[in-house]
Structure 1
Amino acid sequence: MSDPDATRSELPTLREQRRDELRRRLSDTATALFLERGFGGVTVAEIAAACGVTEKTVFNHFRTKESLLVDRWDDTIAALGTALAAPDVPVVDSTVRLLDRELDFLTERGTATATTMRRVARFGQLLWSTPELVDHNQRGLQRLTTAALAALATRFATSTHDPATRITAYAVAGLVQVFYASVARHVTTHDAQRCRRAVRRDVRRAAQQLRAGVVG
């Protein structure tokens, strides 16, 4: 029989629920305003006012203006570290599985409507056409590479300076880049199933190449 006190301790408190709800509201409001007026056309103060909070409150939840729009790097990096730590699953397979879950999120497991996919496409266009957001994502990718390197060094009992460990971490990061480039290309179809199939195909082709070795 499970311990009811232990179960209760695992449930989010009312304070945590309110914090998470406010964080989602801030991010959703910021995203809507950015899509409507562009990233540079909206201030953090305006986002705060739209949500009925202070600018300081916004920065209590998000470190930067950019992270209001792109806030999944922390979760992705943490999930990748956990995935790479599993010694019974090959590194490439772990990464592919993680990217499949991210694709499920973006396409709602292939059930997203055309309207939703158009919004995802507009979101992507904003990300890839705004210098501040491009820089933010580059920093996110660097953090992901560093986290992958640390996880792999632990897994292989090597140093983060070990050449084989480093090239493996870079390969993992490269697979992530292939994923996002493929999403950017195929989300413009506005068809969730078609996008999902195409991205999965691209990722698996890249993964197979990693397993086979460098071309040439």
Structure 2
Amino acid sequence: MTGDERRPAGTRERKRQALRRRLSDTATAMFLADGFDAVRVSDIAKACGVSTKTVWNHFPTKESLILDRGERLATELDGAAEGQQDLSGGLHVLDVVVSCIQGELSLLDDEPVEGSRDSEVIGAVRAFVLLVGANPGLRAATAERQESLTNSAMKAVAHQARLPVDSPHVHILAGALISLWRLHLSGLLRLGDGIWTTHDIREHVLRDLEVGAGLVRSLFRAAARADATVLDSHPSADS
């Protein structure tokens, strides 16, 4: 048995996530410095001291090196759509989305950049926006990623609501769920200008998220009343 096999699963997962982050951060910095098209995956591997195969094992495409934000959200939504989350037993698909965003925001206080009040998370979001704006291929990949997230949300909502995935309510509710993800990203960009501390940014975005989640929950309630289907099974929905 190897040393890695003897380590707890949580330790292995933390190492895997740390390597993914290092690969993504290195790729982002190289793309910004030299341009997306000029940087090869082999260049990124060399800079990180790993094989090109290792990079491909973590990221299926070159574009995915900077499109990894939202990966947990996609995984959780897919799990909800496939019944792996007990959505009928008190867990609402909205809570799944909110939990993923809160997890992203928790990184703000954990990753301050030395000599700055900014967080690496904010820097990564800003770099992502700059890169996408300058590259048509990345814009197309981003649109495809957004569509994939929305489709995952539609399947999760349909599963919870017991409605056809192409019903109007499912379309609207899924779009509202994904809008919460965009809300937190836009908040990071709006507040991450060097004036606010990472703690203050996190608290402001969390408040925006709370307001947004309340609005989305009201849409679920309205849909439930209009369709005579109980979509909102969250135990505190009427509180």
- State the TM-score bracket (shorter-chain normalisation): 0.7 to 0.9
Question: Which letter maps to 2:213?
Answer: A
The TM-score with structure 1 as length reference comes to 0.74
Q: Which moved more, 1:191-200 or 1:60-69?
A: 60-69
**In the alignment, is residue 204 of structure 1 matched against residue 205 of structure 2?**
no
Distance in structure 2 (CA, Å) of the matches to 1:153 and 1:186: 35
Structure 1 140/163 Cα, relative in aligned 2: closer, same or farther at 3 Å? same
Structure 1 120/90 Cα, relative in aligned 2: closer, same or farther at 3 Å? closer
Structure 1 residue 18, shift from structure 2 partner: 7.4
Distance in structure 2 (CA, Å) of the matches to 1:183 and 1:156: 32
Distance in structure 1 (CA, Å) of the matches to 2:8 and 2:69: 22
**In the alignment, is residue 65 of structure 1 matched against residue 67 of structure 2?**
no
Distance in structure 1 (CA, Å) of the matches to 2:205 and 2:64: 25
Whether the aligned pair in 2 keeps the contact of 1:118 and 1:188 (CA below 8 Å) is no
How many percent identity over aligned positions?
32
Equivalent pairs counted in the alignment come to 205
Uncovered stretches (5+) of structure 1, i.e. residues with no partner: 1-7
Q: Which moved more, 1:177-186 or 1:200-209?
A: 200-209
Question: Of residues 181, 191, 213 in structure 1, which corresponds to 2:197?
Answer: 191
Uncovered stretches (5+) of structure 2, i.e. residues with no partner: 223-239
The TM-score with structure 2 as length reference comes to 0.68
**In the alignment, is residue 127 of structure 1 matched against residue 133 of structure 2?**
no
Calculate the aligned-residue CA RMSD, in Å: 3.5
Give 1:74's aligned residue: 71
CA deviation profile, 1:69-98 (whole Å, cap 9, x unmatched): 332333221124456842314444443333
CA deviation profile, 1:8-49 (whole Å, cap 9, x unmatched): 999439998876665454334324434554544532221122
Whether the aligned pair in 2 keeps the contact of 1:83 and 1:95 (CA below 8 Å) is no
The structure with the largest helix share of the pair is 1
Equivalent residues in 2 for 1:66-105, closer than 5 Å: 66-82=63-79, 85=85, 86-87=87-88, 88-105=90-107
